[in-house]
Amino acid sequence: MSILYLLIPLAVVIMTVAVLFFLWTIKSGQYEDLEGPAYRILMDDDDPLVPHDYVQEKKQTDEQNSET
């Protein structure tokens, strides 16, 4: 029974910290835009996987090989 004298205040302290953390996340705007990041990845521009310089070098090499 004496363990309750320790566990109840400990539970109150943990709950207080959790509530303060939750209020801090609300104040900092963590929950303002919940759907934006999900759509942002879909609207991202697709960059080519092959670098532009490599494509040009490959074309030049292919043209030189086809001329000979």
Question: In this predicted structure, what is the pLDDT of residue 47?
Answer: 65
**Alpha-carbon gap, residue 7 to 2, rounded angstroms:** 9
**Alpha-carbon gap, residue 37 to 43, rounded angstroms:** 10
Q: Which amino acid is at 41?
A: I
Q: What are 16-60's pLDDT values in tens digits? A: 999 999 999 999 998 888 888 888 878 777 666 656 666 666 667
Question: In this predicted structure, what is the pLDDT of residue 35?
Answer: 87
- Which residues, 6+ apart, have CB-to-CB distance to 25 below 8 Å? 31
pLDDT bucket at 7, cuts 50 / 70 / 90: very high
Q: Which amino acid is at 55?
A: V
Tokens read off for 42: 């879909």
- Which residues, 6+ apart, have CB-to-CB distance to 47 below 8 Å? none
